[in-house]
Amino acid sequence: MANHIQGQGRLQVTLLPDALDDFVTEDNPVRVVDIFVDGLKLDSLGFRRVDAKRTGRPGYHPATRLKLYIYGYLNRIQSSRRLEKEAHRNVELMWLLERLTPDFKTIADFRKDNGEGIRNACRAFIGLCRQMQMFTDVVVAIDGSKFKAVNSKPNNFTSQKAKDHIERVEQSITYYLNKLDEADKNAEPDANDKLTATKLAWLKAFT
């Protein structure tokens, strides 16, 4: 490999380590998730334990776990165990969660305890994404006034079309939450998740 581009040694210590923020580009959608959730009034949306008790063991803030769920929603990650795994290895999630790594049970319990809040937040997030044209299918709802314009039939939204679209959004959120429930019920610990030192030694013996 002498004539190829060389990587940096994994154990090499650097004087000025890279900031985690450098690995997430300015136009990365994960930044939208971060700003969106930080601007929400979670208690008014129906989330529990927004204000932590002064006594007892501290827990994760609902905003942290909501960011994880919205990221999973955008990337079709439909399992609490998979979300846990991604939080350990996914640079975008490391940035979004500030290197916090909730376990799968904590993630699943959050969904059970805050189902309505998650629905409300997803609803609002989808609306924001459409306003920012992050989705191609944009809905515009107008009051009873009539406007004459040249417009193609697929792009013309009546009140019924807008209502139908909102229902599809609701069904999409419900479908996603149901898939999470189903995945968690059927999930079993992956035997390949943890590599022991013995397994690594055995593998190196054959390389």
Residue 143 has what pLDDT?
47
DSSP string, 142-184: --S--------GGG---HHHHHHHHHHHHHHHHHHHHHHHHHH
How do residues 94-148 score in pLDDT, each as one tens digit?
Answer: 999 999 999 999 999 998 899 889 888 988 888 887 777 765 544 444 444 444 5
Q: Chain-wide mean pLDDT for the chain?
A: 78
Structure tokens at 70: 């919205």
Rounded to 10°, the helix 80-89/104-113 angle is: 130
Instruction: Calculate the alpha carbon distances from 145 to 90, 134, 151, 154, 158 in Å.
Output: 48, 28, 16, 20, 11
Residue from 85, 119, 92, 99 nearest 31 by CA? 92
How do residues 40-64 score in pLDDT, each as one tens digit?
Answer: 999 999 998 888 788 888 889 999 9
- pLDDT above 70 covers what percent of the chain? 70
Asked if residue 70 lies in contact with residue 122, where contact means CB atoms within 8 angstroms, the answer is yes
Higher pLDDT, 68 or 149: 68
Which pLDDT band, with edges at 50, 70 and 90, does 163 fall under?
low
